[in-house]
Amino acid sequence: MDTHVHDRRRFLALAAGAAAAPLLTACGAGFGGNDSKSDGSAADDITGSFDWKREKGTTVKALLNKHPYTDALIADLKSFTARTGIEVEYDVFPEDNYFDKLTVDLSSGRASYDVFMLGAYMVWQYGPPGWLEDLGPWMRNSAATGDEWDRADFFPNLLQADQWSLKAGAPLGRGGQYALPWGWETNVVAYNTEVFGKLGLKPAESFDELTELAGTIKRKAPGAGFDGMYGIAVRGSRSWATIHPGFMTMYARNGLKDFTVDGGKLTPAMNSPEAVAFTEDWARMVKRGGPPSWTSYTWYQCSSDLGAKKAGMLFDADTAAYFQAVKGASPASGKIAFHPGPKGPDGSLATNMWIWSLGMNAKSKKKSASWLFLQWATGKEHLRKSAITHNHIDPVRKSVAEDAAYKDKMRHLPGFLETFETVVDQTRIQFTPQAQFFDATTSWAAALQEIYGGKGAQSVLNGLADDLAAKVG
Amino acid sequence: MRPALRPYLLIVPALLLTGGILYPFGLGLYYTLFDFSASKPQPDMVRLENYRAVFTQEAFWNSAWVTVLYAVGAALAETVLGVSVALLLHRSTVVGRVLEKILILPLMIAPVIAAIIWKLMLQPSVGVVNHLLKPFGLGGVQWTDTPTGALLSSIAVDVWVYTPFVAILALAGLRSLPASPFEAAAVDGAGWWYTFRRLTLPMLWPYVLVAVIFRFMDSLKVFDIIYALTEGGPGDSTVVLQIRAYLEAIRFQRYSFGISYTIVLWAVVYLAAMVLVKHLGKIQRKAAEVTT
């Protein structure tokens, strides 16, 4: 009997150790690093005249996120192979674990993927360790880049958003080009025209009006035939992604900053009196007119609720509403209109944005072929085709945004083109670039949830600022 | 093959398995002595600085507290419910045999899928739970919007998934108990409650405690259910140690610091297991006394 007990003890004790071991393995990335960093660029090795067939017979490996942009790309890959003789192998992951996969892969230094999708914010995280190839030398080399690629055709704010000097607090638009804009989203208000018509409402021009409007819809819409409808869908989950769309857009329109930068030192500014007042107002708006269970709301729930006629308005990416608005996509399709959203106190329409970009692995052994792929995927021909025959919007190229066929396609969505044209020049990344972006914004989202739950905004945001000052400053 | 080599060859698989466990563990432990992060890919040795930082962080103590609440709550509820279900199913009836088969279904669902299903069911406006509660005037419950609600909802999902595990272990224990003490008690005219308290429970305890050990250790390491249900929110109210470790190591790319969290968690799990296993020995001896 004793032996039996002893064996079981040992077994359970070992099981405890074994159960914890995989956690450690999962975290046990190697000291990957940038030990092979060099000043020269592989782009300098490309000489002679530009030739699409230069890397014929090569295979490029791409890591892609499940997205309509990706669907459009995959549908057109044969054109790339026909033009270059380069094959593209790809893996597609859903967004929930896409960035974990990419982060682990890049940090391992293995170069499993030559090219990948990333957001402009990821440049701040992946750039400093040397994981991203600086595409500037490739863009500037006429032997590597065809004339038709036409750098000047990109909206300048988008190209600048992927450009950084890798120094915390340094403005975007200077330094290396660590990714190329591929598709993007500006953050505006989309609304259900049916409920607006029935209740005699007009889109809000100020934040106070928006709060009032959201409350009115929540109170009156259910009695007007819109069962269970609430006022405004905004994200609320405990995630960095809660901060960047509607919240950051309205924050910026109020002239507020996330950090102040003084001599390269970053000081959190989300606890300034003005920021505290705005955050209280935002939480009040959510309480008065936001979704039930707001703290679990991601872009998906927000977008779905607009499409399912559960939300009267959506303050989020224009594409999140677009995918519900297109014919046959949802019960609300044909009844969704777009508006730039409330102006700031000084009339500002400063807008934050998300850019899906394409980057190259600095450890890739196939940089020349990878660059040809990036050049093609961000080129006019593919992006025009993707925008017109698929759903690759918003266009990162001016020529596509102004294309008659593209405009014809989008014209049936009330206010979409007008809203885009109103905010496009004022849309840029409103955050201060720094490597702890995801920590800062995840903590910020947690703070928002606490304020929504009834805690004092000033003390919560002071705590957030103190925490971030130690990490970022 | 020389006979002298045979014993050594026989232990090769065990050695490989042990190495496979110990190598990443040792490597992880080694990394915690550095300040390895994405922003510092060529790290410096910082000795125990990461552990000092962990233990002086308010977030750690909050996460440790939430982890303990979760683990104790889940293990306790699962034990009480699991043993109760096992006692109900112990009498072999047609209904009991059918229910036994159905009982195992939640265990066949990945916990993360269960959490996503429950997230939809707990959704206040369109979820089925509030729809069912509506006739009782409880249709507007915001299940995961408050710190207490989020923690209780997470525990409830854990209970839904893992109670069958406890029930099956307890049922197996019940069916392996010797019949003679119960027959003797019946002859002596002992009532149901007396028999349960003095015979069934003491003899069943070793089986129950094994289930408790597994469930408690597993609940201390929970990640999937909570992350899928609340992502750790609202605020930091459901950020257990595993989620904190994931955020630090993967999302925020502070690798050494994140691994330090997992080492601390490992130590907690190990110590808890040692205490419970020691207790198990005592209970097994008591159970043996009852049967003799």
Could you read off the pLDDT of B140-170 as tens digits, one per residue?
Answer: 898 999 999 999 999 999 999 999 999 999 9
List chain B residues with CB under 8 Å of A449: 233-235
Answer yes or no: do A251 and A335 share one domain: yes
Q: Do B270 and A310 touch (CB under 8 A)?
A: no
- A269 touching chain B per CB within 8 A: no
- Whether B74 maps to a domain, the answer reads yes
- Whether B33 maps to a domain, the answer reads no
Answer yes or no: do A334 and A413 share one domain: no
pLDDT of residue B173: 95
The CATH number covering residue B284 comes to 1.10.3720.10
List chain B residues with CB under 8 Å of A466: none
Q: Which residue of A has its CA nearest to B232?
A: A238
**Average pLDDT score over residue span B206-222:** 95
- Whether B22 maps to a domain, the answer reads no
- Residue A12 has its nearest CB partner, among B28, B263, B273, at B273
> Closest approach of chain A CAs to the CA of B236, in angstroms?
6
Q: Which residue of B has its CA nearest to A3?
A: B281
List chain A residues with CB under 8 Å of B231: 237-239, 296
pLDDT of residue A11: 41
Q: Do B41 and A33 touch (CB under 8 A)?
A: yes
Answer yes or no: do A219 and A343 share one domain: yes
- A173 touching chain B per CB within 8 A: no
Q: Choose the final residue of a domain: A406, A426, A446.
A: A426
- Whether B31 maps to a domain, the answer reads no
pLDDT of residue B139: 81
pLDDT of residue A188: 98
pLDDT of residue B283: 87
Percent of chain B past pLDDT 70, that is, above it, reads 99
> Closest approach of chain B CAs to the CA of A201, in angstroms?
24
Q: Do B25 and A20 touch (CB under 8 A)?
A: yes
Angstrom distance (rounded) from CA B231 to CA A269: 25
pLDDT of residue B10: 93
List chain A residues with CB under 8 Å of B25: 17, 20-21, 24
Domain count of chain A?
Answer: 2
> Closest approach of chain B CAs to the CA of A366, in angstroms?
23
> Residue B145 is part of which domain span?
51-291
Q: Do A23 and B146 touch (CB under 8 A)?
A: no
- Residue A27 has its nearest CB partner, among B125, B249, B276, at B249
> Closest approach of chain B CAs to the CA of A169, in angstroms?
15
> Residue A108 is part of which domain span?
54-185+354-426
Question: What does pLDDT average to in each consecutive run of 10 residues of chain A (473 residues)?
Answer: 42 43 42 50 95 98 96 98 98 92 90 96 95 97 97 97 96 97 98 98 98 98 96 97 98 98 95 98 98 93 96 97 95 97 98 98 97 98 97 96 97 96 96 96 97 97 96 82
Answer yes or no: do A180 and A190 share one domain: no
- Whether B155 maps to a domain, the answer reads yes
CB pairs under 8 A between A and B: 191
Answer yes or no: do A137 and A217 share one domain: no
Answer yes or no: do A439 and A455 share one domain: yes
Answer yes or no: do A376 and A267 share one domain: no
**Average pLDDT score over residue span B123-137:** 90
- Whether A25 maps to a domain, the answer reads no
Angstrom distance (rounded) from CA B245 to CA A442: 14
List chain A residues with CB under 8 Å of B236: 446
Answer yes or no: do A329 and A454 share one domain: yes
Confidence class for position B97, pLDDT limits 50, 70, 90: confident
> Closest approach of chain A CAs to the CA of B282, in angstroms?
9
pLDDT of residue B1: 63
Rounded to the nearest integer, the mean pLDDT of chain B is 93
List chain A residues with CB under 8 Å of B28: 24-25, 27-28
Q: Which residue of B has its CA nearest to A107?
A: B38
Which tens digit of pLDDT belongs to each residue from B20-68? 999 999 999 999 999 999 888 889 999 999 999 999 999 999 999 999 9
Domain count of chain B?
Answer: 1
Closest CA to A65 of A92, A88, A90, A89: A92
- Residue A293 has its nearest CB partner, among B27, B144, B231, at B144
- Whether A59 maps to a domain, the answer reads yes
The CATH number covering residue A262 comes to 3.40.190.10
Answer yes or no: do A293 and A194 share one domain: yes
List chain B residues with CB under 8 Å of A34: 41-42
Answer yes or no: do A205 and A344 share one domain: yes
Q: Do A23 and B221 touch (CB under 8 A)?
A: yes
- Whether A4 maps to a domain, the answer reads no
Confidence class for position B103, pLDDT limits 50, 70, 90: confident
> Closest approach of chain A CAs to the CA of B96, in angstroms?
31
Q: Do B281 and A20 touch (CB under 8 A)?
A: no
Q: Do A453 and B234 touch (CB under 8 A)?
A: yes
Q: Which residue of B has its CA nearest to A9?
A: B277
Mutation for B interface: A218, A238, A459, most B CBs within 10 A: A238
Answer yes or no: do A333 and A192 share one domain: yes
Contacts of B282-287 with CB under 8 Å at 24 or more apart are B283/B205, B283/B206, B283/B209, B284/A1, B284/A5, B284/B206, B285/A1, B285/A5, B286/B202, B286/B205, B287/B202, B287/B203, B287/B205, B287/B206
pLDDT of residue B292: 67
pLDDT of residue A193: 98
- Whether B90 maps to a domain, the answer reads yes
- Whether A399 maps to a domain, the answer reads yes
- Whether A70 maps to a domain, the answer reads yes
Q: Do B250 and A103 touch (CB under 8 A)?
A: yes
- Whether B7 maps to a domain, the answer reads no
> Closest approach of chain B CAs to the CA of A253, in angstroms?
26
> Closest approach of chain B CAs to the CA of A383, in angstroms?
31
Angstrom distance (rounded) from CA A339 to CA A15: 58
Answer yes or no: do A327 and A447 share one domain: yes
- Whether B11 maps to a domain, the answer reads no
List chain B residues with CB under 8 Å of A128: 38-39
SS3 labels along chain A = CHHHHHHHHHHHHHHHHHHHHHHHHHHCCCCCCCCCCCCCCHHHHCCCCCCHHHHCCCEEEEEEECCHHHHHHHHCHHHHHHHHCCEEEEEEECHHHHHHHHHHHHHHCCCCCCEEEEEHHHHHHHCCCCCECCCHHHHHCCCCCCHHHCHHHECHHHHHHCEECCCCCCCCCCCEECCEEEEEEEEEEEEEHHHHHHHCCCCCCEHHHHHHHHHHHHHHHHHHCCCCCEEEECCCCCCHHHCCCHHHHHHHHCCCCCEEEECCEEEECCCCHHHHHHHHHHHHHHHHHCCCCHHHCCHHHHHHHHHCCCEEEEEEEHHHHHHHHCCCCCCCCCCEEEECCCECCCCCCCECEEEEEEEEECCCCCHHHHHHHHHHHCCHHHHHHHHHHCCCCCCCEHHHHCCHHHHHHHCCCCCHHHHHHHHHHHECCCCCCCCCHHHHHHHHHHHHHHHHCCCCHHHHHHHHHHHHHHHHC
Q: Which residue of A has its CA nearest to B116?
A: A296
Q: Do A228 and B249 touch (CB under 8 A)?
A: no
> Closest approach of chain B CAs to the CA of A417, in angstroms?
33
- A20 touching chain B per CB within 8 A: yes
